[in-house]
């Protein structure tokens, strides 16, 4: 059995004995009270019955005296005594059931009834006197029956007092014996309590003082060596030992808190290193997909357990589109209008304070409102995307600052990528037609020629020029000329599609690279372009420009030239087409045959 259990049992036994001793003392006191109550009851009953007895004889004497002497003062005194007797009988009726036995009550009631009957006889005699019938009154009050009833009433009341005296004496004897027995038992219990108290006191000194001090000393020694994993004893008693245990417990809790702070500091450093590494990786991203891959990799590690999605803002149509998600967030990753997110509306994180009541973003399920966070990706004062996080709680709320830093880094990376794409588009694509420009042609031509040489497949080139373009500019203006260039470029792009790559070579000249096509296949594509342009009806500002013709030169590798002369051969074929009168297709092979 444990020491604490033994001590608790001893304490419990001491308390029980003390309580039992107190109860016995109360019982002894109750026995004394019973004795005093019996004596007091006897005195009350004895006094009242004696007064009834005396008053009954006094009333009889006064009634007889009035019958003999007809003295009004005697009659007045009789009336007063009669009223007093009724008051005594009334008081006695209130007490006659308090502790009295059935036999006592029967005697008492019979005596009182006899006294009441005698009073009735006295009233009858007084009534006879009032009518002048003195003889009848004398017969009633001095008759043998009246005397017998008077003696019988006294005998009943005397017998009642005798029974009352016997019962009171027996009650006093019983109460005295019970009180003596209970007091003795109480004294025995007090002695046992004292012995048990001495035992418990010695037990406590041995096991509750010496042993706790030794245990606390061992704990203090281990805490001094920064072993905060040690369990401190839980001494809850309010004394010096309890104070020492509380101090040791506070010291350990402070050590654990310091260790926790150190862990959090290390964790914060780790997160900061992850953020720095993510920022470095974002700076090295070459395209949009690289940014997405970096976000999917680093986000779950920067905020463990926090699910999320990355949205980017599309301008056509105007919507937020999910491009990445991690840790299986709730709800569907459907596109939504930017106004459905309060963070995008406000340009700040939403909700601003975790756990406080606030309106939820409409693009999130209602079940996520209490544990979600939306952080807009801002670039140059405009929202270009959104980070939406879920499963935020009190433990992960401290990572909110890191989530906002991550959003800032991603927003900057996406903005840089968009700027990079825009600059690349301006560098590689013609702004008027949307076709690739001449700068892009150099890289593309080298790549496709190398591919053709490795795969031993043909590569053809179309050189296209709009006929009489200067006449169009001079007659209809440069804006109309730009419209013609855009329309011809659209025809070329539609015909080529996935078969090759179209370029604006310069001014009104275009160039098409057809990978995997020989001269015959390239000539068919050239014919489709020629016919498409010729069939096109052009109008500008309500003015009919008419139809436009193009001249096309065709050259193929390796049929006509080597790799480094492909463009030159196509240009020669185009020049020949112009010499022959324009509006025609000329292949470099035709020149060789001629």
Active-site residue set: 508
Q: Could you give the CA distance from residue 467 to residue 314 in angstroms, rounded to a whole number? A: 40
Strand 585-587 with 550-557, pairing: parallel
What are 334's two structure tokens? 């459907």
Instruction: Using alpha carbons, select from 588, 517, 515 the residue that is nearest to residue 553.
Output: 588
**Degrees, nearest 5: CA angle 51-52-54:** 65
CB count within 10 Å of CB 206 equals 11
Q: Is the dihedral of CA 26, 30, 32, 33 positive or negative?
A: positive
Q: Is the peptide bond before 317 cis (omega within 30 degrees of 0)?
A: yes
Query: 405, 470 in Cβ contact below 8 A?
Result: no
Long-range contacts: 217-222, Cβ < 8 Å, 24+? 219/248, 219/252, 220/248
Q: Could you give the CA distance from residue 267 to residue 402 in angstroms, rounded to a whole number? A: 12
Q: Could you give the CA distance from residue 80 to residue 74 in angstroms, rounded to a whole number? A: 10
What b-and-e string marks burial along 368-395, b requiring 16 or more CB atoms within 10 Å of the CB?
beebbbbbbbbbeeebbbbbbbbbbeee
* Alpha helix ranges (H) inside 71-228: 72-95, 102-130, 134-141, 144-204, 211-224
In the beta sheet, which residues pair with residue 515?
459
Q: Could you give the CA distance from residue 138 to residue 129 in angstroms, rounded to a whole number? A: 9
In the beta sheet, which residues pair with residue 377?
385
In angstroms and rounded to an integer, the radius of gyration of the C-alpha atoms of the chain is 62
Query: 531, 445 in Cβ contact below 8 A?
Result: no
Q: Could you give the CA distance from residue 89 to residue 447 in angstroms, rounded to a whole number? A: 138
List CB contacts of 277: < 8 A, sequence separation 6 or more.
298
Q: How far is CA 154 from CA 89, 114, 160, 415, 451, in A?
A: 15, 9, 10, 125, 150
Query: 386, 341 in Cβ contact below 8 A?
Result: yes
Task: Output phi, psi for 357, to 5 deg.
Answer: -60, 135
363: left (phi over 0), alpha (psi -120 to 50) or beta: alpha
Element (H, E) at 290: helix 288-302
List CB contacts of 111: < 8 A, sequence separation 6 or more.
49, 52, 153, 156, 157, 160
Secondary structure of residue 416 in the 3-state scheme: helix
Cα end-to-end span (Å), the chain? 120
What are 53's two structure tokens? 């007895």
């Amino acid at each position: 059995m444990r020491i604490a259990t033994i001590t608790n049992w001893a304490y419990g036994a001491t308390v029980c004995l003390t309580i039992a001793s107190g109860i016995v003392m109360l019982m002894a006191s109750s026995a004394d009270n019973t004795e005093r109550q019996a004596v007091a009851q006897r005195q009350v009953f004895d006094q009242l019955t004696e007064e009834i007895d005396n008053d009954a004889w006094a009333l009889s004497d006064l009634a007889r005296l009035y019958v003999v002497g007809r003295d009004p003062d005697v009659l007045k005194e009789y009336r007063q005594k009669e009223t007093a007797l009724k008051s005594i009988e009334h008081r006695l009726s209130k007490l006659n059931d308090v502790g009295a036995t059935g036999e006592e009550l029967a005697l008492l009631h019979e005596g009182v009834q006899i006294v009441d009957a005698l009073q009735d006889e006295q009233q009858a005699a007084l009534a006879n006197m009032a009518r002048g019938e003195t003889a009848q009154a004398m017969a009633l009050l001095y008759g043998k029956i009246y005397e017998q009833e008077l003696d019988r009433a006294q005998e009943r009341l005397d017998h009642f007092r005798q029974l009352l005296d016997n019962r009171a004496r027996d009650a006093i004897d019983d109460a005295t014996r019970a009180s003596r027995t209970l007091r003795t038992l109480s004294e025995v219990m007090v002695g046992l309590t004292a012995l048990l108290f001495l035992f418990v006191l010695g037990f406590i000194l041995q096991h509750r003082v010496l042993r706790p001090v030794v245990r606390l000393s061992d704990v203090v020694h281990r805490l001094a060596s920064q072993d905060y994993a040690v369990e401190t004893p839980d001494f809850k008693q309010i004394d010096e030992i309890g104070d020492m245990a509380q101090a040791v417990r506070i010291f350990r809790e402070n050590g654990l808190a310091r260790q926790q702070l150190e862990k959090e500091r290390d964790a914060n450093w780790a997160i900061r290193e992850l953020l720095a590494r993510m920022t470095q990786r974002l700076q090295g991203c070459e395209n949009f997909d690289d940014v997405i891959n970096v976000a999917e990799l680093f986000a779950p590690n920067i905020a463990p357990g926090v699910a999320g999605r990355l949205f980017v803002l599309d301008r056509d149509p105007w919507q937020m589109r999910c491009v990445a998600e991690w840790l299986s967030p709730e709800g569907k990753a459907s596109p939504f209008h930017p106004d459905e997110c309060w963070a995008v509306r406000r340009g700040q994180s939403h909700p601003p304070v975790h756990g406080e009541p606030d309106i939820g973003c409409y693009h999130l399920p209602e079940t996520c409102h209490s544990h979600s966070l939306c952080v807009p990706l801002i670039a140059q004062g405009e929202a270009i995307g959104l980070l939406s996080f879920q499963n935020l709680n009190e433990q992960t709320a401290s990572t909110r600052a890191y989530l906002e830093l991550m959003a800032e880094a991603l927003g900057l990376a996406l903005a840089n990528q968009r700027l990079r794409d825009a600059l690349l588009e301006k560098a590689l694509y013609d702004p008027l037609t949307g076709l690739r420009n001449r700068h892009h042609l150099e890289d593309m031509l080298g790549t496709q020629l190398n591919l053709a040489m490795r795969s031993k497949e043909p590569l053809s080139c179309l050189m296209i020029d709009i006929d009489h373009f200067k006449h169009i500019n001079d007659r209809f203006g440069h804006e109309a000329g730009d419209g013609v260039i855009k329309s011809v470029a659209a025809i070329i792009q539609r015909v080529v599609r996935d078969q090759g790559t179209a370029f604006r070579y310069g001014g009104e000249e275009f160039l098409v690279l057809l990978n995997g096509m020989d001269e015959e296949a390239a000539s068919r594509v050239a014919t489709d372009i020629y016919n498409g342009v010729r069939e096109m009806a052009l109008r500008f500002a309500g003015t009919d420009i008419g139809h436009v013709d193009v001249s096309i030169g065709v050259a193929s590798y390796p049929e006509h030239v080597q790799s480094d002369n492909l463009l030159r051969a196509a240009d020669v074929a185009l020049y020949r087409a112009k010499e022959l009168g324009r509006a025609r297709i000329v292949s470099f092979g035709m020149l060789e045959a001629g």
